[in-house]
Chain A
Amino acid sequence: MAKAKPPTVQIKAFSDHHVITQPNPLRNVVRYVDNDDEDDPVARAEQALADLSGEFDNWMVAECERLAAAYTAMTDSQFSAASRDELFRAAHDIKGEAATFGYPTAAAAAESLCRIIEHAPSLAAVPGDLVKHHIDAIQAIVREQNSIQRMGVAGELSKRLRNVADEYLTAVNQDRPEHLEAVLAPSIVPGD
């Protein structure tokens, strides 16, 4: 498809904008099949993901190690901007991946940590225990997955961390309305 000749572009001019329409360059990629067609690409992909899932525990451990190393690097560097960014990316990756890897409560704790890093006026001024407890909790959830998940402790742990983090962020952002609004805004994703 990528080598096909570019289709003709139509441009309509208005007083403050142009509307540009090109014939769909990918129209030949879509085809009609009968409803009884047995090929199901989504089911095939879900099966492939299930086949890959044997790797997920090791991947999650690696992500936890990356997070812990980023935290150590940040404290060693006196909270440099680069180390802060790496800590955020490590936590943010866990937020996005952990549920896929089978650790949804670790994702919730990582999201809470991301909010601290993003909305605290100064990460150096955040009570040290607050950040450390998040990292410890994520590691514990992954390490003790079978036992604490079964007891429901992991979910409660993540929820309490989030409550403490939100309480702190609400208090320190009273003079920063854009951050306060972001902290208090409900998630756009249902169930969060």
Chain B
Amino acid sequence: MYRIDFNKLRFLVCDDNAHMRRILRTLLHSFGAREVYESEDGATALEMFSHYVPDIVITDWSMPIFDGLELAQMIRQPEANGNPYAPIIMLTGHSEKRRVTMARDAGVTEFLVKPISAKALYQRIMNVVANPRPFIKTKNYFGPDRRRNASSSHVGPERRVGGQMEVMQQPSLIDKARIPG
């Protein structure tokens, strides 16, 4: 079986709620992480993202002024400072399908619905570490490949042309969100 050397990973946690930050910090340190940087709003998180260059970002959605969705959109700027390919795990109380779709379209890598559990968080981290997806750049999207299976049933106007080789065999973000944290 595979394990993650958490002591080699640098995390940025963004949540406006101090209790949730404490829980996340506790879980990550227990996994073995040493470098866990914390922010209570999206703007500060973006500054810390550029400064510390974290390997993985874990962010809440609902925050004052500059929320987690906007943070994801700012990180996923191909020309921006920092690492625009950094995995982003959205950890949120939102559990509606349209929210998952919005997060996916903002470039979020993994979606985790609160309440949080150690197991679900570990699994999401393992997935972004061990199974990174290719990135797709279109005129209006830059982020991890949103195709998670080989289905060709989607006939909408945004279906991109060609590139079958990059289709990933993974559960969709919505399927993953169905599993509570």
Report if A8 contacts B (CB, 8 A): no
CB of A151 within 8 A of chain B? no
Taking the nearest CB of chain A, how far is it from the CB of B158, in angstroms? 10
Q: Which residues of B are found within 8 Å of A46, using beta-carbon distances?
A: 118-119
8 Å CB contact of B3 from A2, A25, A39: A39
**Residue contact B116 to A29, C-beta cutoff 8 Å:** no
Q: Does A189 contact B (CB under 8 A)?
A: yes
A146, CB-defined interface residue at 8 Å: no
Residue-wise, chain B 2-36 has the 8 Å CB interface mask toward A (1 for contact) of 11111011100000110110110011011110000
Is A20 an interface residue when CB atoms closer than 8 A count as contact?
yes
Tell whether A12 pairs with B163 under 8 Å between CB atoms, given A2-B52, A20-B134, A93-B20.
yes
Kindly state whether residue A150 has any CB partner on chain B within 8 Å: no
Residues from chain A with Cβ under 8 Å of B130 in the complex: 24, 30
Q: Are A188 and B26 in contact (CB under 8 A)?
A: no
Contact B137 A20 (CB under 8 A): yes
Q: How far is the CB of A60 from chain B (nearest CB, A)?
A: 9
Which B residues touch A30, using CB under 8 A? 2-5, 126, 129-130
Verify A85–B95 contact, CB threshold 8 A. no
A189 touches B177 (CB 8 A): yes
Say whether B5 contacts A29, CB under 8 Å: yes
Beta-carbon contact of A17 and B1 below 8 Å? no
Could you tell me the distance between the alpha carbons of A59 and B50 in the complex, rounded to whole angstroms? 32
Indicate whether B150 reaches chain A with its CB closer than 8 angstroms: no
Residue of A32, A41, A97 touching B122 (CB-CB under 8 A)? A41
Considering only residues 122-181 of chain B, those with a C-beta below 8 Å from chain A are 122, 126, 128-130, 132, 134-139, 145, 160-163, 166, 174, 177-180
User: Is B74 among interface residues, defined by CB-CB distance under 8 A?
Assistant: no
* Most central of A24, A41, A52 by chain B CB within 10 Å: A41
Cβ contacts A34-66/B at 8 Å (1 or 0 each): 110101011011111100100000010011000
Question: Once the chains are docked, how many angstroms separate the CA of A25 from the CA of B10?
Answer: 13
Q: A18 to B135: give the CA distance in the assembly, Å.
A: 8
Per a CB cutoff under 8 Å, which of A17, A26, A44, A192 touches B160? A17
- Nearest CB of B to A59, in Å: 5
* B2, B132, B145, most chain A CB atoms within 10 A: B132
Contact check, B96 vs A188: say whether CB atoms are below 8 A apart.
Answer: yes
Closest beta carbon of chain B to A141's beta carbon, Å:
16
A2 touches B31 (CB 8 A): no
Which residues of chain B have C-beta atoms less than 8 A from A28's C-beta? 5, 8
Chain B residues contacting A47 (CB-CB under 8 Å) are 30
> Does A16 contact B138, Cβ atoms closer than 8 Å?
yes
